[in-house]
Structure 1
Amino acid sequence: MNKTININLANLFFHIDEEAYSKLQRYLEAIKRSFANTSGSDEIIADIEARIAELFHEKMENERQVITQKEVDEVIGIMGQPEDYMVDEDIFEDQPKSAQKASKVKKLFRDIDNKYIGGVSSGLGHYFGIDALWVRLLWILLTIFSWGGFIFIYALLWILIPEAVTTAQKLDMRGETVNISNIEKKVKEGFDDVAEKVKNVDYEKVGNRVKSGSKSFFNTIADIIMFVFKVIGKFIGIILIITGAAGIVSLFIGLFTVGILDIIHIPGIEYYYLVNSTNTPVWLASLLAFFAIAIPFFFLLYLGLKILVNNLKSIGNIAKFSLLGLWLISIILLSVFGIRQAAAHAYSGNVTVEKVLSFQKPDQLIKINLKSSNWEENGNNIGINGIILDYTENGEEVLVFDDLRLYIKKSKDSLAHIEIRKSANGSSFKNATETADKVNYSYIIKDNTLLLDDFLTTAKENKYRDQEVRINLAIPMGTKVQFENFPKRCWMLRTNNNQDMDGCEITNYLWTMSKNGELLCQDCPESESSSKKDSGKGKIIINEDGVDISIKDGEDSFKMKIGKQGVQINTNENKERNVTADTVQ
């Protein structure tokens, strides 16, 4: 059982056992003697004690841990023996300069002595060997062209890169060699904490100053392999940093842009409100999306910095778990909003209105005309299935749709009928039906002309719910019909006809409703109006005069004509039989 002593070393409290304390005390007294006649010895001793305290603190797993002789020996191995500090710099005056300096790798720190804001630019300048002025100019340009996005990157580097406080850290930042000559030089120049550079004094031990320049073949191969892996690792780190930084800056610009558009009410932002079923503010949705995507990019950036910067300061477990929690909350809320958004279109409902059309002269030609509108010219087209946002004469905001279809069918009686079916989606069947009922569509009859709107409308608060209108127009058999003013909306016309024409071709001719519900063309050209089959042995002609059938097979022939005069049949025996309409009936 060892006795434990409590000590205060450089304002840090430690528990140390008695044997370790005795060895540490002898070590510190030896160091004091080695610097007894050196100017600034008090500052050097204070910095050495501070460095020893830092090393002890790094080796402790918890505050209750006791410092043993093992930890003291490890610290002494790092700091060096007292005799290393007793060597005067004059001893090395005759040594070649290459023997006095050891190659050191620069470490990334923030230079707080030459800072304007956080010392990030100065630290990067030291690390890359360029003037800090150029780094600051680059920050300014990147910030301007990224709409301020690189301010966020600067803040991250400010948090993650440690500042060079001690003399050893400042020497590491500049890549200067730590040796006895530099120690005395810095002390004479007035650096108060110059002795901190002795933390790496084991690199400069006198016995190791002249090293053998020869290495074994296998050690050289191993060094080359390790160098290649380090280069690959650094390259991966650079890729991760670029990816993470680019992602964060892009998301920052996107968030900033969406916020500005929402504040000044740019028309395009209305698209979000028209499709948003959850009524989530655009700023909240943008913020959640930013956190959900930017946090993974941040950890990519952090991982890249970890690979490139050996002494990168950890953001701490609290920050890590806070970011993880924020990311999970954002993902969960976005998932909830997405589910609610999808649920708003889960059901489809429709409302049907059927009326009888009263034409002044139903036995004469009926014209079907589309009323031309100026919604497209006056509206704000927001590019979602042809929807237009506009205002009524009363100043009310309405959504204008062009999802309209017109079907021509045969009436079941002698009257013309119109059936208007309005449909929409909703979160329930009831909600969908109510939304469909709020769709507005109108038509008028003027003389023998049916004027149909080529659009449908609904109030803006009803939002976009796949609203559409289907019109079924039923006309009696034998009714002549003609389509006018369909140049822009001819695709909406659907009907069966004896010419297999599409909606746009149908509008060019006059038609009659047949018994089987098919439109018969009345003025189509012969090549188009006739259903003709002629193989050299016969022909069949169907037009407005009736049906004319002629068949010839060798010496035998057969002709039949059906028209207003009845049915006429003629064979090669020159026998003709007339069948009147009364006879057919």
Structure 2
Amino acid sequence: MNKTVNINLANTLFHIDDDAYNKLRRYLESIKRSFSGTPGSDEIIADIEARIAELFLEKMENERQVITQKQVDEVINVMGQPEDYMVDEDIFEDEPKKTYDAPRSKAKKLYRDIDQKYIGGVCSGLEHYLGFDALWIRLIFILLAVFTGFGLIAYILLWILVPEAATTSQKLDMRGEPVNISNIERKVKEGFDDVADKVKNVDYEKVGNKVKSSSKTFFDAIGDIIMFLFKVFGKFIGILLIIVGATALIALFIALFSVGLLNAVHFPGVDFYEIVGTTGVPVWVLSILLFFAFSIPFFFVLYLGLKILVNNLKSIGNIAKFSLLGLWLISVGTLFALGIRQAAEFANVGSVNVREEMVLENPNDTLIIKMKESAYDHNMENVHFGRMSFTYDENDNKILISDDVHIKLRKSVDSMININIRKDAHGSTLLAARERAKAIDYGFSIAGNEIIVDEHLVTDVSNKARDQEVTTTIYIPNGSVVRFDESTRGHVSSGILNDKGYYRSGIIGYTWTMGEDGELKCQNCPDEPEDTDEEEEGGKIIINEDGVDINLKDREDSFEMKINEDGIKVKAGEKNNN
């Protein structure tokens, strides 16, 4: 069992065992003795301690980890011993200074070089990182700013996002040099040498330095303003994220407990889920899955907003983060699997046909096709799945009804009138779809010369909503006279051939005779549509055997175009109101 102590190294708290602490203490004391009396010794020692703290943090997996002697040895090996770098300058005054030949770092880090800056130090920092002269980088930014505007935007973004090399360790990282005792000492001494040289050359560089200092002061002020505005904008974004995240979480909590779990609020969609869904998953389980799938992202949105506003906000920890991520992945994955299973319920279409032969009381009379008005209130629940909705039968049992019924008319192959009712439904398998189609309740009746079909199909709620559909096809012999009642409007199918080219409900209200070719012949349709009002309002378009005649008119002028075998004739002019 080893004793541990707490130390404050470069304003960072570390837990270190007693043996490692004694070794680190002796190492730092030897460094202090080595640099005693050296110009800038305090800054050198402070930078060395900061670098040691950085190395410890890199080796720690969590903030409670204890620094051991092994880790101290590894740090000392990186930093080196003071005797590896010190030279007796009085004895070897004319000899070149010996230094520790340490390998260069493999990768540089991007910082802004504030020592060589003119505005924000971006270009001088890129010089170290990319290896290009800062002059060329500045010219590139200027050209991009002048010709595209991108240069200015890129510079401002780099100015905001790239940190400045403030400490000696950061300056060495910027140049890709190992951050050890030798380089820290050299860098600090270079700073003092630069100050001495500037003092010696103050008269020579006085004007240049004054101009440069003024420019730095001006651009520093601009930089401070930009940073202030960026921080204000960041705070605004943080507040917005908090509002969005908190509002969404509150709404999801209310929905979960009032609808999904307790069903305290009657929501029609909850009942309808049982009709549409086929997965067998209870509503409360689906509600919890949906809650986690949506609430976890909004929680992190809220957390991000708090992190933006509160600088020292305590982290929720990696365990909590990964647990929430895993829970979210499980919820989304489960919902995805349920969605695939739900989609499979509509993969197959099953059909059943019921065909009957009909005998009319007076076969020579006009056959009238009507629809029986439904006795059910299909808008009772006001929730629909396609054209299907809830209602109740005469015994107050909940049923499903749909007005997805269609009527077709075809020529019979014999002299008899036949009716064929085809029922369609979807299912995960063809057999399941056919069974669901058989369960559809739909009928017709004959009253005199009227064929009356139901307005709605009906099925039990246990059959679910699976795009149930009914198509009634009536076959009549050649020469039969037929008329569609107004009640069939909206249910007449397309594809009924007629000599007028009317589409779907356009044939309603007229009397038709079935032709030999299977095409209906109209008995009372108007020969030509009245076009007097159309000509007065906006002109006319006539298409016949003579060609295409287009006459478009408005209140100010007229335009005429005629296309026939002679070619194309276009005429435009002012409208004659006389």
- TM bin, normalised by shorter chain, reads 0.5 to 0.7
Where does residue 415 of structure 1 map in the other structure? 416
Give 1:225's aligned residue: 223
> 1:302–1:467: structure 2 CA closer, same or farther, 3 Å change rule?
same
Deviation of 1:472 (Å): 1.0
Give the deviation of 1:409 after TM superposition: 0.6
Counterpart for residue 373 of structure 2: 372
Report the equivalent of 1:188.
Answer: none
C-alpha contact 1:422 1:468 (8 A) present in aligned 2: yes
Tell me the SS of whatever aligns to 2:340: helix
CA distance in 2, matches of 1:490, 1:513: 20
Query: Number of aligned pairs?
Result: 360
After TM superposition, give the deviation of residue 498 of structure 1 in Å.
Answer: 1.5
CA gap 1:528/1:216 in 2 versus in 1, 3 angstroms? closer
Distance 1:280 1:510 in 2: 54
Q: Which has the larger radius of gyration?
A: 1
User: Separation in 2 of the partners of 1:491 and 1:413?
Assistant: 23
Q: Which residue in the other structure is 1:355 paired with?
A: 356
CA pair 415-303 structure 1, distance change in 2 beyond 3 A: same
2:305 paired with 1:301:
no
The one-letter amino acid paired with 1:503 is R
Contact 1:367 1:484 in 2 (8 A): yes
Question: Which string of whole-angstrom CA distances, capped at 9 and with x for unpartnered residues, describes residues 182-227 of structure 1?
Answer: xxxxxxxxxxxxxxxxxxxxxxxxxxxxxxxx99553674475266
What residue number does 1:65 align with?
Answer: 68
Shift of 1:292: 1.9
Q: CA RMSD in A?
A: 4.0
CA distance in 2 between counterparts of 1:219 and 1:527 reads: 88
**Aligned residue number for residue 393 of structure 1:** 394
Q: Could you list the per-position Cα deviations for residues 119-157 of structure 1 after superposition, in whole angstroms to 9, with x for gaps in the alignment?
A: xxxxxxxxxxxxxxxxxxxxxxxxxxxxxxxxxxxxxxx
| Aligned partner letter, 2:367 | I
Decide whether aligned partners of structure 1 residues 243 and 271 sit closer, same or farther in structure 2, where only a CA change above 3 A counts. farther
Which structure 2 segments of 5+ residues have no match? 8-12, 29-55, 77-209, 531-542, 547-578
In structure 2, the partner of 1:434 is 435
Deviations 1:224-249 (A, max 9, x none): 52663464255235425523541452
Give the structure 1 partner of residue 254 of structure 2: 256
Q: Distance in 2 between matches of 1:240 and 1:289?
A: 26
Please tell me whether residue 315 in structure 1 is matched to residue 316 in structure 2.
Answer: yes
Give the AA of the match of 1:17. Y
- Cα deviations by residue, 1:148-173 (Å, 9 ceiling, x for unpaired): xxxxxxxxxxxxxxxxxxxxxxxxxx
Contact 1:420 1:469 survives alignment (8 Å):
yes
Task: Check the 8 A contact 1:454/1:489 in 2, yes or no.
Answer: no
Q: Report the counterpart of residue 193 of structure 1 in structure 2.
A: none
Shift of 1:345: 0.8
C-alpha separation between the residues in 2 aligned to 1:357 and 1:458? 26
Contact residue 481 and residue 510 of structure 1 kept, 8 A: yes
Counterpart-to-counterpart distance in 2, 1:384 and 1:320: 39
Q: Which amino acid aligns with 1:349?
A: G
Does residue 17 of the first structure (1) align with residue 15 of the second (2)?
no
Q: CA offsets, 1:405-455, max 9 Å, x none?
A: 111011000111111111111111122122112111111112221111011
Q: Secondary structure at the match of 2:419?
A: strand
Consecutive unaligned residues in structure 1, runs of 5 or more:
25-56, 72-213, 536-585
* Paired residue secondary structure (1:375): coil
Query: 1:348–1:230: structure 2 CA closer, same or farther, 3 Å change rule?
Result: farther
Q: Give the distance between the partners of 1:281 and 1:241, measured in 2 at CA.
A: 37
Q: 1:331 to 1:266 in 2, by over 3 A?
A: closer
**Match of residue 328 from structure 2:** 327
With over 3 angstroms needed to count, the CA separation of the structure-2 counterparts of 1:8 and 1:494, relative to structure 1, is closer
> Is the Cα contact below 8 Å between 1:405 and 1:494 reproduced in 2?
no
Instruction: Give the alignment of 1:340-351 within 5 angstroms.
Output: 340-351=341-352
Deviations 1:531-572 (A, max 9, x none): x9897xxxxxxxxxxxxxxxxxxxxxxxxxxxxxxxxxxxxx
- CA displacement 1:94-140 (0-9 Å, x = unmatched): xxxxxxxxxxxxxxxxxxxxxxxxxxxxxxxxxxxxxxxxxxxxxxx
Contact conserved, 2:248 with 2:295, CA < 8 A, in 1? no
The list of structure 1 runs, each at least 4 consecutive aligned residues, that deviate by more than 6 angstroms after superposition, is 19-24, 57-60, 67-71, 532-535
> Does structure 1 retain, via aligned residues, the 8 Å contact 2:404–2:470?
yes
Aligned sequence identity (%): 36
Report the counterpart of residue 237 of structure 2 in structure 1. 239
Matched residues in 1 for 2:433 and 2:323: separation?
42
Residue 289 of structure 1 corresponds to which residue in structure 2?
A: 290
**How much has 1:377 moved relative to structure 2?**
6.0
Aligned to 2:66, what secondary structure does the other structure show?
A: coil
Could you state the TM-score of these two structures normalised by the residue count of structure 1?
0.54
Letter in 2 for 1:481: V
1:82-481 pair list within 5 angstroms: 217=214, 218=216, 221-222=219-220, 224-225=222-223, 228-229=226-227, 231-233=229-231, 235-236=233-234, 238-243=236-241, 245-257=243-255, 259-261=257-259, 263=263, 264-376=265-377, 379-481=380-482
SS in 2 for 1:305: helix
Deviations 1:262-302 (A, max 9, x none): 51433343332332221323333232223223322322332
